[in-house]
């Protein structure tokens, strides 16, 4: 049987990134020659076919064409709205043809369960239905494969339209992101879903790159040690036991729903809260086939879609890695470098979601605060990254909040600002400085030039950190600033920092005029 094939992402209904060179790639026998022909359709104007040949090396091949504007002699990406292209690939008498691929804006949506979270699992499915007919959004599901030879024949690996029955399986964050950016671009939107619930950041970077991160080297070594200390047979027995526990849990849930039909009828909210006590098994065992192992999803999922050209990456992940705390910063920066290199895009843009509120163990809660800070620092220190604060969109007792629309919209605002230059303010206020004034301590902010306000009319979330104590304080909005009055501060000479929403489970109410929340912070006093 021939090994010659296109990468699965090249299939019917596909979208190519409209303002970048076109990379077509696949697999085949060593040293065979592959020819790729692009035939464009542009109204009455039919350009001549565009050819390119290459030789298969290490059983992989790739050809690169100029960006479509250059090929067609067009001036503006909006001129591509009515252009399609047929892709014809041949090798040793075999041929593959993809008809009528179109041009648009393409994004990878990656991370773990909150990015994977489907429209049908939210409260907002009904809000999505009215636009599915008019929004030209197409979704590619990257098959969830964690090791060579894993049988995922039932995994979808095609591009689906928003009018297809698979619509309800689309990532909710991604769909509402697509809705939002349609206000900025008049073209099809392509979403490449590449996510796995419960996955670690280590899973999405190569094993070698994970080892190169000094700040998490000790943790990485412990993961590798856990993998190597057991034989393949031991791991497989552990996995069989875990699978059995999952089946028992599923039966327990089904039995509970049978005995309590009203819970099933109230899906998803009551379903979650009233089955939470049944406690499913987690985590699965670590081993040579585990999706949690370092580099596993990088090798078998990310590489399967690279180097497909995209406008950016939406990244919503971190819940599994809260114990890394501040070490997450170095890992996230490695992710940026790794994927930019793999996708051959030095300026590949990353849009991050800063984790919302949640309450678990005290150690995890501490780690979540540090991880949020790491996410923020990674975004603001990288010229091709931005972050959406979702602090106000969480659920203190549910790690999978049911509301995703606003997260998608906030990420869309970021794209509107940084990619399409259609938005001026796309982020909430950021702390600029804290200094002493006659009235007390004054806090000034960026992204607050048109004013700030407090939800519920109450300024909540501020704390003063002194040498030996940390306590809540009341604060007032004064113009574009916030003032902590003198009488709220116990000892000015001992004040070290001011904190806002700097806890895992917290209430922070401050927003700017665009209803975007103030980012959590821990800020030292400035000399004034």
Q: Which residue has the higher pLDDT, 154 or 398?
A: 398
463: helix, strand or coil:
strand
Contact 111, 195 (CB under 8 A): yes
The two three-digit tokens of residue 406, written as one number: 């606003």
As a whole-number percent, the residues of the chain with pLDDT over 70 amount to 94
Tell me: the pLDDT tens digits for 174-208? 999 999 999 999 999 999 999 999 999 999 999 99
Name beta bridge partners: 349: 312
d(CA 111, CA 98): 29
3-state helix, strand, coil in the chain (%, to 5): 35, 25, 40
Burial group, residue 203, by CB count within 10 angstroms (0-12, 13-18, 19+): buried
Compute CA distances 382 → 63, 138, 333, 360, 386, whole Å.
30, 29, 8, 31, 8
DSSP code of 147?
Answer: S
d(CA 33, CA 56): 6
pLDDT at 273: 57
Compute CA distances 217 → 115, 214, 224, 290, whole Å.
27, 5, 11, 20
> Which residues are within 8 A (CB) of 504 and not within 5 positions of it... i.e. 6 or more apart?
357, 358, 359, 360, 364, 365, 366, 368, 369
Would you say residue 154 has pLDDT above 80?
Answer: no
Count of residues making up the chain? 528
Compute CA distances 364 → 155, 293, 321, whole Å.
33, 21, 9
Any idea which of 100-114, 358-372, 456-470 has the lowest mean pLDDT?
Answer: 358-372
Tell me: the pLDDT tens digits for 202-233? 999 999 999 999 999 999 999 999 988 999 99
pLDDT at 348: 98
pLDDT band of residue 399 (cuts 50, 70, 90) is confident
pLDDT band of residue 527 (cuts 50, 70, 90) is low
Contact 326, 288 (CB under 8 A): no
d(CA 15, CA 20): 12
d(CA 114, CA 465): 33
Q: Where are the alpha helices (DSSP H) in 293-327?
A: 296-297, 303-305
Tell me: the pLDDT tens digits for 406-453? 999 999 999 999 999 999 999 999 999 999 999 999 999 999 999 999
- Kind and range of the H or E run holding 369: helix 362-380
* 108 closest CA partner among 293, 290, 294, 297: 297
Question: What number is the average pLDDT over the span 390-398?
Answer: 88
Cα 190 to chain centroid distance, Å, stands at 15
d(CA 13, CA 139): 9
d(CA 399, CA 114): 8
pLDDT at 274: 60
The two three-digit tokens of residue 469, written as one number: 């104590």
d(CA 23, CA 456): 51
> Taking phi first (over 0 means left), then psi (-120 to 50 degrees means alpha), and beta for anything else, what does residue 93 get?
left
pLDDT band of residue 252 (cuts 50, 70, 90) is confident
pLDDT at 400: 87
pLDDT at 269: 54
DSSP symbols for 380-395: HTSTTEEEEE-GGG-B
Q: What is the mean pLDDT of the chain?
A: 92
d(CA 238, CA 467): 49
Tell me: the pLDDT tens digits for 19-76? 999 999 999 999 999 999 999 997 666 667 899 999 999 999 999 999 999 999 899 9
As a whole-number percent, the residues of the chain with pLDDT over 90 amount to 79
The two three-digit tokens of residue 264, written as one number: 């099933």
* 188 closest CA partner among 259, 103, 287, 250: 103
Tell me: the pLDDT tens digits for 279-328? 788 899 999 999 999 999 999 999 999 999 999 999 999 999 999 988 99
Tell me: the pLDDT tens digits for 39-55? 999 766 666 789 999 99
Q: Which residue has the higher pLDDT, 131 or 20?
A: 20
Would you say residue 101 has pLDDT above 80?
Answer: yes
Across the chain, how many H-helices and E-strands are there? 14, 24
d(CA 70, CA 75): 8
Half-sphere exposure of 222 (CA within 13 A, CB side): 5
Contact 450, 512 (CB under 8 A): yes
Does pTM surpass 0.85?
yes
First to last CA, the chain: 75
Would you say residue 360 has pLDDT above 90?
Answer: no
Q: Where are the alpha helices (DSSP H) in 157-287?
A: 172-181, 207-211, 217-228, 232-259, 261-265, 269-275
> Which residues are within 8 A (CB) of 524 and not within 5 positions of it... i.e. 6 or more apart?
434, 496, 497
Any idea which of 180-189, 248-257, 388-397, 484-493 has the lowest mean pLDDT?
Answer: 248-257
Angle at 189 between CA 23 and CA 63, to 5 degrees: 5
């Amino acid at each position: 049987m021939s090994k010659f094939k296109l990468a699965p992402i090249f299939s019917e209904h596909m979208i190519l990134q409209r303002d970048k060179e076109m990379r077509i790639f696949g697999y085949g026998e060593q040293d065979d020659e592959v020819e790729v022909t692009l035939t464009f359709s542009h109204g009455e104007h039919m350009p001549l076919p565009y050819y390119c040949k290459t030789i298969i090396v290490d059983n992989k091949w790739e050809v690169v064409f100029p960006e479509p504007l250059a090929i067609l002699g067009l001036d503006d990406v909006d001129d591509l709205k009515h252009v399609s292209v047929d892709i014809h690939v041949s090798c040793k008498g075999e041929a593959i043809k993809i008809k009528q691929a179109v041009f648009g804006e393409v994004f990878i949506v990656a991370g773990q369960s909150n990015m994977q979270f489907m429209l049908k699992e939210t409260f907002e499915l009904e809000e999505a239905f009215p636009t599915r007919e008019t929004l030209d959004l197409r979704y590619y599901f990257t098959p969830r494969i964690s090791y060579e030879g894993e049988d995922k024949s039932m995994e979808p690996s095609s591009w689906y339209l928003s009018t297809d029955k698979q619509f309800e399986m689309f990532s909710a964050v991604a769909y509402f992101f697509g809705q939002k950016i349609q206000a900025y671009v008049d073209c099809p939107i392509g979403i490449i879903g590449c996510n796995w619930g419960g996955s670690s950041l280590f899973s999405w970077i190569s094993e070698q790159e994970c080892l190169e991160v000094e700040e998490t080297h000790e943790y990485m070594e412990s993961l590798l040690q856990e993998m190597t200390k057991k034989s393949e047979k031991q791991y497989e027995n552990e996995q069989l036991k875990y699978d059995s526990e999952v089946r028992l849990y599923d039966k327990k849930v089904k039995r509970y729903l049978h005995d309590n039909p009203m819970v099933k009828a109230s899906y998803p909210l009551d379903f979650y809260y009233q089955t939470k006590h049944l406690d499913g098994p987690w985590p699965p065992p670590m081993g040579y086939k585990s999706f949690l192992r370092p580099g596993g999803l990088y090798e078998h999922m990310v590489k399967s879609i690279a180097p497909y050209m995209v406008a950016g990456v939406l990244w919503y992940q971190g819940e599994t890695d809260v114990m890394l705390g501040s070490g997450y910063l170095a890992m996230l920066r490695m992710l940026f470098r790794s994927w930019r290199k793999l996708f051959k895009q030095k300026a590949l843009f990353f849009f991050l979601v800063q984790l919302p509120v949640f309450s678990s163990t005290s150690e995890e809660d501490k780690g979540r605060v540090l991880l949020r800070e790491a996410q923020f620092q990674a975004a603001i220190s990288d010229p091709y990254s931005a972050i959406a604060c979702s602090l106000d969109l969480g659920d203190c007792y549910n790690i999978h909040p049911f509301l995703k629309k606003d997260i998608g919209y906030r990420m869309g605002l970021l794209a509107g600002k940084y990619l399409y230059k259609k938005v001026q303010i796309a982020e909430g206020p950021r702390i600029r400085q804290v200094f002493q004034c006659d009235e007390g301590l004054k806090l000034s902010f960026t992204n607050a030039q048109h004013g700030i306000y407090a939800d519920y009319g109450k300024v909540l979330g501020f704390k003063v950190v002194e040498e030996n104590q940390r306590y809540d304080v009341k604060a007032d909005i004064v113009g574009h600033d916030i003032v902590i009055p003198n009488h709220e501060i116990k000892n000015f000479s001992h004040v070290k920092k001011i904190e806002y929403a700097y806890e895992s489970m917290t209430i922070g109410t401050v927003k700017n005029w665009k209803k975007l929340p103030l980012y959590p912070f821990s800020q030292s006093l400035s000399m004034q």
